[in-house]
Amino acid sequence: MSLITFRIKENAKKCEECAVLKMRNRIDHNSVLSEESELLASGILKLTCAACKYGEDFKKVYGVMPYEKYQGIS
């Protein structure tokens, strides 16, 4: 298990406040295109998490990447 410092915890909090994650969670589930928009938003979220410098710190704290932890949350 890796050492979790104050900086790593702060970076994990920044990851929770990600605009892409919030956008994915605000999808209207009553829409005709909700399933397609959820797939698109999930793909965008995975790409941004892979490129984000805070994703690995989030994984150190919570054990999973943000898109895995918040999967299916509306």
What distances in angstroms separate CA 7 from CA 41, 62, 68, one per listed residue?
A: 28, 14, 22
Per-residue confidence (pLDDT) for residue 73, from 0 to 100: 54
pTM, whole model, 2 decimals? 0.68
Sequence-distant (≥ 6) Cβ neighbours of residue 14 within 8 angstroms: 54
φ, ψ for residue 34 (rounded to 5)?
-65, -40
Distance CA 51, CA 39 (A): 19
- pLDDT, one tens digit per residue, over 42-68 is 888 888 888 888 888 888 888 888 888
